[in-house]
Amino acid sequence: MFALVILLASSLPGVSAHSGDVLSAFGTATVDGVISAGEYGSSIGPITKGDYTFTIYETNDLQNDYYAFTINDLTNDGEMDELRIYFDNEHDGIVPQYTDPALIYEDAIEALGDGTFSDRHYGMISGAFQAPTDSVQDGAAATTWTEDQGYVYEMSHPLNSGDPRDYSLSTGSTVGWGLTYFDWNERAYVYVYYPTGFNVPAGSGDASKYGDILKTGAPVGGVAVPVNKLAILTPYLALLGLSVAVTTAVAIRRRKT
């Protein structure tokens, strides 16, 4: 029976990675514009696109997500440079049309080169992409710029802020993500998109252009186990417990007789 449970556990499906860019780690980061050793358990990069080389970092604890981004933008343009991360709330790639700007469908966050944070949301209005700013600011950001190295951006975002404009996640949840870096360069912006093919936003019904972020639970026995897999395992673990109980009862009965 135990062997059966192990076999079932080993055959559980993993994260469905739409673009193959998966971020998932448990931990708490300090939002100070400095990436310390061991602060982020997952990252993607370094990635080179044109003149830019960048890395994306992510971790979550039971209350917040933490994101970091480094890029070799060697000109410090302060608030004109910005990082924006877009989330696919329902994990389906759909960016709905809506006619009332008060109706919110997808979540986004933004950090500027001056260290300020903006809680945003996005959707399509009359066929045009819109990214309004949310009046409720639940997260935080910090940015540092170093000559010959570029920017370090860090942001935090609640897993569940209670704000209907934000996504609502828990450990075991998976959400899609994509980002755009806006580099102000001589009175015009240069745009950096990731994952490959993502473009503010990926497009209605096209989830393949988003990456995945799996919100991970606290480590169990030194191994971080997503809550969704624990939930799947529960009936098999219960069956294992029942089998052990029955076997023990039969053995006791045999000894008595």
Whether pTM > 0.75 for this model: the answer is yes
The pLDDT value given to residue 48:
97
Report the C-alpha gap between 90 and 147 in whole angstroms: 40
**3-class secondary structure, 20:** coil
Report the C-alpha gap between 128 and 1 in whole angstroms: 57
In the structure, how many helices (H) and strands (E) does the chain have?
2, 15
Do β-strands 22-23 and 64-71 pair in parallel, antiparallel, or remain unpaired?
A: unpaired
Domain ranges across the chain: 17-220
Q: At what angle do helices 2-10 and 227-256 cross, to 10 degrees?
A: 170
174: β partners: 214
Quick one: CATH architecture of 17-220?
A: Sandwich (2.60)
The pLDDT value given to residue 254:
61
Return the closest-CA partner of residue 139 out of 214, 28, 64: 64
Read off the DSSP letter of residue 36.
Answer: -
Report the C-alpha gap between 211 and 192 in whole angstroms: 15
Full pLDDT tens readout for the chain, 257 residues: 444 433 433 333 344 458 889 999 999 999 999 999 999 999 999 999 999 999 999 999 999 999 999 999 999 999 999 999 999 988 888 887 776 666 667 899 999 999 999 999 998 887 788 888 888 888 999 999 999 999 999 999 999 998 888 899 998 999 999 999 999 987 789 999 999 989 888 877 888 899 999 999 887 654 444 444 444 344 444 455 555 555 665 555 666 55
Secondary structure string (H, E, C) spanning 204-222: CCCHHHCEEEECCCCEECC
φ/ψ of residue 80, rounded to 5: -75, -25
**3-class secondary structure, 18:** coil
Concatenate the DSSP letters of all residues of 76-140 into one string: --GGGSEEEEEEETTSS----B-S-TT---EEEEEEETTS-EEEEEEEEETTEEE-PBPS----E
* Contact criterion met (CB below 8 Å) for 227 and 217: yes
φ/ψ of residue 255, rounded to 5: -65, -35
* Contact criterion met (CB below 8 Å) for 19 and 210: yes
> What is the distance between the terminal CA atoms of the chain, rounded to a whole angstrom?
26
Find the radius of gyration of the CA atoms of the chain.
22
Read off the DSSP letter of residue 49.
Answer: E
Return the closest-CA partner of residue 153 out of 68, 39, 42, 53: 68
